A and B are shown apart, each in its own frame.
Chain A
């Protein structure tokens, strides 16, 4: 039994790690920052000697996103390059992969296990980053000593990975919304620019509004440019109205 003050300190540390992940949900969110914080948090909590995270990109290809140190980063890259290792398995199966002694894992991972041992690690755990049935990536925990199975520590690591997964998905939703909001506003601006450009053209060439619109459209067609682009250029002065007037004569 650890003395009570140690227990309190550890609880505070755990809470702190969670807060760091959740914090990134509300503030300026940076996914690399959050994931790096998670790997360092796992080390600080004594869950590992080093930690690394792989995340699938839009095409489903895994990439190294964060690591607590250079050795962990190299081991993640090594798994990707050789298409072998616990992180890849956790990602593929969606369940944690645990190996307490890598010196006995040369059969299972003939390329990865010797390399990990050479890098100074003795045991490995990998936890999937997932949301329901969607696999997002996986987190590796490397330890320099052999590791007896520790249900509590494993549970904590998986919970941290789950919270990080929520943050990742939330960030995706927000970014998609931002893109769509920008498109909506662009559509509004484009419609307005067309009306303004019609007015400018009508005034300069003494045209009716529908004649002005036809001129703009003809110019867009003959120059193979979008109507909204032509209109915006007229409004901001980068396209001379006289050019359109002359072309339509």
Chain B
């Protein structure tokens, strides 16, 4: 009990220090856990978007999960529980085949995705990406749970001073970050006469088939250089840019 109280106090002081130095919940989490690549994403049943990332790699891998529509962070949100993949390449290709292959290419071998809780709800996910395989140390493991609570608290704190249906500026505007993807989804929905959610899936499928990022494809659509038509490009398994072995 007192051990955990000490832990909570220690984590809180690191978060406070980062806040004063204009850091983010991600920089604070990376500091506490001594893990370089940390991402925090805000999620709802319909959407998700980044709040902060401690480095380029965590940003790229968070984006990749969104782009592919699969990965540990999305599962952690959907299942509202921690998803631990300490040895990514080891028999776990099956769960997120496309994502795992790309993550390994990025030199990531361990991923720990922790749900961010507010009340009984899950508002997002804290994801730790490690370049070595293996479990977290018991100390890191205990810290990570406290860190997830601190991240959730800081998000709720940021939002608490805001009007109810406007996102706080401190949250990095997770929606506008992918504004083009959402705009493109709207355009494709009209082009194909399908619901927007279906249009977004089509967008992803097209990006996957063309081995390009969803943001790239979306930009082309928004700038009217690309149009998805009814029987447009169909994703083929061989064009993903990696060998599924």
A interface residues, Cβ below 8 angstroms from B: 173-192, 194-204, 209, 226, 228, 235, 237, 241
Contact = CB atoms under 8 A, between A and B. Distances in A.
A176 B166 CA distance: 18
B240 interface: no
A192 B182 contact: yes
A177 B47 contact: no
B151 interface: no
A194 B187 CA distance: 13
Interface of B: 42-47, 49, 118-121, 123, 155-156, 159-160, 162, 164-167, 173-176, 179, 182-191, 195-196, 222
A187 B166 contact: yes
A109 B191 CA distance: 78
Contacts of B188: 199
A133 B210 CA distance: 65
A204 B190 contact: yes
The 8 A-B pairs with the shortest beta carbon distances in the complex, nearest first, are: A199-B186, A177-B119, A191-B175, A195-B182, A185-B44, A178-B119, A199-B183, A181-B118
A174 to B, nearest CB: 5
Contacts of B175: 188, 191-192, 194-195
Contact of A196 (B42, B44, B155, B186): B186
A102 B72 CA distance: 65
Given A188-B44, A209-B183, A203 B196 contact: no
Contact of B159 (A184, A196, A202): A184
Given A198-B186, A228-B165, 17 more contacts: A173-B119, A177-B121, A178-B121, A180-B159, A181-B123, A184-B118, A185-B121, A191-B173, A192-B46, A194-B175, A199-B190, A201-B186, A202-B183, A203-B187, A209-B183, A209-B222, A235-B186
